[in-house]
A and B are shown apart, each in its own frame.
Chain A
Amino acid sequence: MTESAHHPAPLSPVEQRVAALQTLLTERGLVPEGFIEEITRQYESEIGPMNGAKVVARAWVDPGYKQRLQADGTAAIAELGIGGPEGHHMVVVENTAGVHNVIVCTLCSCYPWPVLGLPPAWYKDPPYRARMVREPRALLAEMGCLLPEDVEIRVWDSSAEVRYLVLPPRPRGTESRTEAELAALVTRDSMIGVARL
């Protein structure tokens, strides 16, 4: 056995603060048994970009669904059994040959949890929040999303109750793929709008 197995790493200051608040709230009967484990399990295994990918793949194969998705995103997403906090007012914005959409939240980190899961760290950090509204074309290029000059860029700052999902165009040469195969092609970044497929 190694030394570290006998002496686990000491808690960092932030871990000590979490433990302090958790202990005090537990003493006051405010932490139900298993609550933290349940939150962890949900976000690690049930809620994530695989849900958004199902929505996108369905829109690619079913024109009627795509129409409903664009008319009422929340209702169409609910057809696939997907919904919940930060997903009650969904608007779907479609990327085309001439228009590229991208989502941001400059004031905090609003993000469509039911379809994309929890936001990645870079989405929540200052550089992305500060720059995407100021220099979107330059920042997208820096992140590897190079757009022709004549493509219009539409940035959506999620500053009120609506949460956005970007609908990327179906890649060429995928005509013979099944819906499940198509869903596997859809990346989280393409649904935020910082990448193309």
Chain B
Amino acid sequence: MDGIHDLGGMQGFGAVDHSSAEPAFQHRWEAGARALLELVAGAVQASGGEFRHSIERMAPGHYLTSSYYEHWLTAAATLAVEHGLVTQSDLETRAGGRFPLSDRVLAPPVEDAGPDVGTPRFAVGDRVRVRDWHPAGHTRCPRYVRGKAGTVVRVDGTYSVPDIEAHSTARRHEPTYSVRFEAAELWGDDQHGAWVHVDLWDSYLEPS
């Protein structure tokens, strides 16, 4: 989905609030949120894709105004409600107030995952173009490279396609590639000597 999580290249966020050292958890509750997500994801057997999509479905305003571990907490509660472990009204009663969850899944369930792709279609050095499409469900193809041409610089192993696993118990496996894009081409400006590499599944790509 073209959600708020897909931040690559967006403008207006200002300076990075950089610190060179900080504790693993800034607040006690953050470790709790992390642990609860791990427990819920294990109990409902959520794939990585389903977990990430449960964060991506957060209301944009909530996403931008809450920290990383509030995202995890929202994901844990959303998955727990969607899989019937708890209800939102129970959560709100116990919390003594609102307990915002992520929005519903927009994409239909995937019925047919399609066949695995065992052999890479592309090799190092091949020119490829990223499909220019806008799926309603989970994808790991960032918006900022859709429709753009780049060069394969590395062929990795074969992995479960996130777009399938987030919406199905079935799986399809495909090779992934690291694809190199010139920054000036991505953004239409005069940067030089800067390259952006994005790791993409086979079905995200077309020959160029």
Q: Which of A131-175 contact B (CB under 8 A)?
A: 131, 133-137, 139, 142-144, 149-162
**Interface segment, A54-62, A76-84, A113-121, A178-186?**
A113-121
Pair B7/A158 contact, Cβ less than 8 Å: no
Pair A130/B7 contact, Cβ less than 8 Å: yes
Question: How many residues of chain A get a CB closer than 8 Å to chain B's CBs?
Answer: 72
Which residues of chain A come closer than 8 Å to B55, judged between CB atoms?
A: 108
Which residues of chain A come closer than 8 Å to B156, judged between CB atoms?
A: 89, 160-162
Whether, in the assembled complex, B52 has its beta carbon less than 8 Å from a beta carbon of chain A, the answer is yes
Known pairs A133-B144, A160-B156 / 14 extra A-B pairs, C-beta < 8 Å: A12-B29, A13-B98, A20-B94, A118-B25, A127-B14, A133-B9, A134-B144, A135-B191, A143-B16, A157-B142, A159-B199, A160-B159, A161-B199, A187-B20
Whether, in the assembled complex, A70 has its beta carbon less than 8 Å from a beta carbon of chain B, the answer is no
Seen from chain B, the residues whose Cβ lies within 8 Å of a Cβ on chain A are 5-11, 13-26, 29, 31-36, 38-40, 43, 52, 55, 64, 66-68, 70, 73, 76-77, 80, 85-86, 90-99, 140-142, 144, 154, 156-157, 159, 176, 178, 183, 186-187, 191, 193-201
Instruction: Tell me whether chain B's interface is mostly helix, strand or loop, or mixed.
Output: mixed
- In this complex, what residue of B is CB-closest to A109? B68
Our pick among A12, A24, A130, A156 for the contact of B91 (Cβ within 8 Å) is A24
Pair A155/B34 contact, Cβ less than 8 Å: no
- In this complex, what residue of A is CB-closest to B39? A30
Which residues of chain A come closer than 8 Å to B141, judged between CB atoms?
A: 159
Whether, in the assembled complex, A97 has its beta carbon less than 8 Å from a beta carbon of chain B, the answer is no
Please measure, in the bound complex, the distance between the C-alpha atom of A21 and the C-alpha atom of B32, giving whole angstroms. 10
